[in-house]
Amino acid sequence: MGSKRRDNWGSRLGVIMAVAGSAIGLGNFLRFPAKAASNGGGAFMIPYFISLLLLGIPLMWIEWTLGRYGGGFEHGTAPGIFHSVWQKNRFIKYFGVIGIFGPLVIFIYYTYIESWTLAYSVFSLAGKYVNLADQASMQGFLRGFQGLEHNQYFNGIGPAYLFFLLTFAVNTCVIYYGIKGGIERLCKWAMPLLFIFGLLLLFRVFTLGTPDSARPEWNILNGFGFLWNPDFSALKSAKVWLEAAGQIFFTLSVGIGVILTYASYLSKGDDVVLSGLTASSTNEMTEVILGGSIIIPAAFVFFGPVDIQSIARSGVFNLGFVTMPLVLNKLPLAQILGFIWFFLLFLAGITSSVSLAQPAVAFLEDEFDINRKKAVIIFGAVCFLLCQPAIFFLGNGVVDELDFWGGTFFLVLFATIETILFAWVFGMEKAWDEIHRGADMRVPRIYKFIIKYITPLFLLFILGMWLWQEWLPIIFMKNVSPQSKPFILGTRLGLLFIFVTLGVLVKIAWGRKRAQLERAR
């Protein structure tokens, strides 16, 4: 153990709220209902819960345990934590680069999307879109705001950029004040407020009844039926199973590296079993109960069984920024309800984005002995520059490309590596003891078998299926328009540069440590 003092959480509630806040994001309220509705409705929940039991919960315990273990060696990010687990292997720390790379890549586009929710909160209160009554006009409003077209609503990307600057500044400010003074303090008030707003919207959806007496079948019960009635034939599709597994990764923030970093600030005797399970349960309750009960059922009531099919498949941006505002515009107090919806999304977004920033900041603090103030300034300056392509080349597929590599492929790859490292290199017996150190409850013994065999096999199957079905079309940009190919290629080269740079920084950091040890001798 060194002499420096690392940051820490102020309370168990604080760390649970922070980890839950990291997991509860835009995907809970936008991605989940869209995936469920377009992949068999209630039948989607079968592979979803199987993936939760076999992937989500095991990975959650793995990451909480590895993070706490690595924190005992004053490492808060995957390179140092992996090295702590397998010190004899000098290359394993480079695999840990993914645990910094993934969150960093997601942060540089997620923050921009998050800023839209803050902007729309203000637009709603100001009544800027309250008179728009159809999909085309609301779509035009969104595209104008994004700078994808000039229209009667917006003359350029100026307003969007202004809200991006504000959102980026708020994120940087929270990160600047550290784990206890920044992230924990934010999550302790943001999460309860998010739940209050979600419950208010849920109550309003439940009281919709049948607004159109000419169409009595367009009622809220049938709206819930559309989302939750199972189409069991969908279970024959491998795509549905992969989508369900992907949603579990996305919603629990596992396989990213964030939980590793958050858990590294725990003390050696802090419970990870019950705390991790509580944080995961909070996220699942939010996603399944709130996320699954607001946007799709409400849209069904106003658009009916035919249009709702295309709405469910229209993408998360259209669901959140086109469909939902149109629904709320048809209700009394539309401006207030619109603010509640978008500020709820903003709260979900910011509690996630600050967690995405923490691994990179912790890496600078722990491995280069840079104080937090300087680390946040370096992180902020670099990320601000990296955010620009996502803002100005949104229409050229840059955000989708960043999301695929940072938020999909490397997420599964990283989860596979850390699971094998935990169960097979660290050793399942030692791992089982480490999980239960300071635990207030025992993990069911079946999970010893699941973590060692089922979870890594499930992950390898997902990777194998992806390589079999998707590898060549994605690498050769088969579905990319000719005008967008230079931007996609530029994005890939940029990502390669970021990854190599992080690898070089890891090499430099360990070289410094080795030199310090030799001088100490």
Domain ranges of the chain: 12-392+399-466
- Rounded Cα distance between 459 and 427, Å, is 18
Q: pLDDT category, 276, cuts 50, 70, 90? A: very high
Q: What are 41's strand-pairing partners? A: 230
- Rounded Cα distance between 42 and 426, Å, is 39
- Check whether 3 has a pLDDT greater than 50: no
Residue position matching structure tokens 């399944």? 288
Cβ atoms of 37 and 319 within 8 Å: the answer is no
Instruction: At 427, give phi and psi (nearest 5°).
Output: 100, 130
- Rounded Cα distance between 220 and 350, Å, is 31
Most confident of 109-123, 233-247, 320-334: 109-123
- Check whether 4 has a pLDDT greater than 70: no
Give the CATH architecture of domain 12-392+399-466: Orthogonal Bundle (1.10)
- Rounded Cα distance between 407 and 397, Å, is 15
Pick from 344, 346, 377: which is nearest to 360 by CA? 377
Neighbours of 189 (CB within 10 A): 11
The average confidence (pLDDT) of the chain is 91
pLDDT of 409 reads 86
pLDDT of 78 reads 96
pLDDT of 345 reads 96
pLDDT of 2 reads 45
- Rounded Cα distance between 172 and 168, Å, is 6
pLDDT of 517 reads 80
- Check whether 242 has a pLDDT greater than 50: yes
Q: What proportion of the chain, given as a percentage, has pLDDT over 70?
A: 99
Q: What are 230's strand-pairing partners? A: 41
pLDDT tens digits for range 296-350: 898 888 888 878 778 877 777 888 899 999 999 989 999 999 999 999 999 999 9
Give how far Cα 37 sits from Cα of 43, 204, 230, Å.
Answer: 10, 21, 10
Residue 99 neighbours by CB under 8 Å, 6+ apart: 77, 78, 79, 81, 256, 257, 260, 261, 359, 414, 418
Which of 118-127, 305-314, 396-405, 426-435 shows the lowest per-residue confidence on average (mean pLDDT)?
305-314
Pick from 512, 15, 519: which is nearest to 261 by CA? 15
Which of 41-50, 62-71, 355-364 shows the lowest per-residue confidence on average (mean pLDDT)?
41-50
- Check whether 498 has a pLDDT greater than 70: yes
Q: What one-character-per-residue DSSP string does 301-346 give? A: HHHHHHHHHHHHTS-HHHIIIIIHHHHHHTSTTHHHHHHHHHHHHH
- Check whether 226 has a pLDDT greater than 90: no
- Rounded Cα distance between 274 and 283, Å, is 14
327-363 burial, b for 16+ CB within 10 Å, e for fewer? bbbeeeebbebbbbbbbbbbbbbbbbbbbbbbbbbbb
Q: How many CA atoms lie within 13 A of 398 on its CB side?
A: 24
The sign one gets for the Cα dihedral 397, 320, 168, 502 is negative
Which of 115-124, 167-176, 312-321 shows the lowest per-residue confidence on average (mean pLDDT)?
312-321
- Check whether 103 has a pLDDT greater than 90: yes
Q: pLDDT category, 1, cuts 50, 70, 90? A: very low
Cβ atoms of 118 and 347 within 8 Å: the answer is no
By CB atoms closer than 10 A (0-12, 13-18, 19+), residue 467 is exposed
Question: What pTM does this model have?
Answer: 0.94
pLDDT of 416 reads 93
pLDDT of 62 reads 96
